Structure 1
Amino acid sequence: NNFSLAKQMFVQCLHICPQDPLVYNELGVLLYREGDYLRAEGHLKRALSLVPNGNLSTRWEPTVVNLAHSLRKLGRHKEALGWYDKALGLCPSQSGTYAAIGYTQHLTGDLVSAIENYHIALGIRPEDTFTAEMLTAALQEE
């Protein structure tokens, strides 16, 4: 949890391996956790651009989701939804991605779609209390 030290280490890693997508990914995650969503977006996009042959496999699904989260935090909901869809293309059974899609739709006022995606997420992972609470909120708002 020492973000300052971790950031210094990752910056040094970038100097050593400037074409390593994993370093950009880790730095992007760290920036996201610090609340610097714009810089997180840049590093996560850079990580994905450096994936060999542009071949996004299931290994890169967390990076895609983290990018979508950053975009959602920046209020760029339509863009975020596009990246969440890409994440589902990589790993179609991730309840967290369906929940994130539902939450993003909820933020935009698309309650019908949000409720649908909350239900899908809960069908995969019924014990997810956040999604259950968000589903209840969306149903009450509808």
Structure 2
Amino acid sequence: MDDPFLAVMEFVYTAVPWLATAALAASTGRLADGLLGDESVRSALLNLPFGVVAVGLVVRGFAGYFLERGDVLGPASVPALSAGPISVTAFQLATLERLALFVAASLAVSVCGIAFVSYMNDRETLGELSSP
């Protein structure tokens, strides 16, 4: 590989799952410390694991996009699946479809995080109102 940009993108593409897993473990540990220490847990701390996963998905998606454009990474392919009456034939994703899938997954994780934090804040508020 002669292009240093593609070498960096390959490193990023390979390292992102490891870095995201480490950040997810650290943020989950911080959240557990807050919950076990009888401290009030801020919304940002509750949303941190979701943000880590979302950012990891976007970074990996863009790194994969550049690698596929540079012919370092092949197209993403989905094997044929069959579960009872439902079956899906094998297909390949185009370069932009792969990127769009990663970005959409990142947005879905972010929205799930927002919904989770909103639900937890509502529960906490209701619990405070109902306690004597």
Q: One fold, TM greater than 0.5? A: no
Greater relative contact order (Cα < 8 A, sep 6+)? 2
Q: Name the TM-score, length of structure 1 as normaliser.
A: 0.33
Q: Specify which structure has the higher proportion of strand.
A: 2
Q: Specify which structure has the higher proportion of helix.
A: 1
Larger radius of gyration: 2
Q: Name the TM-score, length of structure 2 as normaliser.
A: 0.35
